[in-house]
Amino acid sequence: MSVLVKYCGCQTEEDYRLLSATKANIIGFVFAESKRKVRGEEVSSWMRSYGKEKELAGVFQNASVDEILHVVSQVPLDIIQCHGHETVETLIQLKKQCSTKIYKAIAYGEDVIDQIALYAECADAIVVDSVSDGQFGGTGVPFAWTEIPQFIKKANKYNIPIIIAGGITPENIHTLLEYHPDGIDISGGIEREGKKCGIRIKKLEGMM
């Protein structure tokens, strides 16, 4: 797959084992308040049982640098994804103290173009995600994908990739890929009854 694929919201050891065998580049764990929240010690135990086949990303929302570093001490994260209103200064501090890549999530509707410019110098990738009923991330609702080309054009000026999240499913992935994002970040779209679903993953990957 030419597009970078991140399967996020890994909640259980069963999920982790399943996602480790997929074509995804990255497995994501949510350490922020969420129905998919996990603890560092849980994830660490899964590593011991099944090893590490993919890059690992940790999703945090308005966490302190110390809180993030605590999880990093437990889990061999390759990526820290800041999914709140973290400042540029916070991202710079993380980059100084961690060897991980830093992804910054931007809420669609909050002047994405300006936000890309703001974070481009201190992030390794920008994630554009949906907002629904005041909730940022994990909404299961796509935003107006027709605007993706202008986001990519702006990001290209800074040589930073754009990853799209929010409401991506096996049923609509073909539409999203027509806009050529650098990556996709998908969670609920590959679940069935709250668990990662091999059938839905296979269907999604068959469309890519």
Query: Tell me: the pLDDT tens digits for 167-179?
Result: 999 999 999 999 9
For residue 59, the surrounding DSSP H or E stretch is strand 55-60
Using 70 as the pLDDT threshold, list the residues of the chain that sit under it: 1, 110, 132-139
Residue 33: count other Cβ atoms within 10 Å of its Cβ: 8
Residues 49-62 pLDDT 10s: 888 989 999 999 99
Per DSSP, what are the bridge partners of residue 43?
Answer: none
Give the single-character DSSP code of 37. Answer: B
pLDDT score at 194 = 87
pLDDT score at 109 = 81
What's the pTM value of the predicted model, to 2 decimals? 0.94
pLDDT score at 141 = 82
Written as six digits, the tokens of 128 are: 């554009």
CA nearest neighbour of 167 among 183, 190, 196: 190
pLDDT score at 2 = 86
CATH architecture of 4-206: Alpha-Beta Barrel (3.20)
Written as six digits, the tokens of 37 are: 């929240």
pLDDT score at 71 = 97
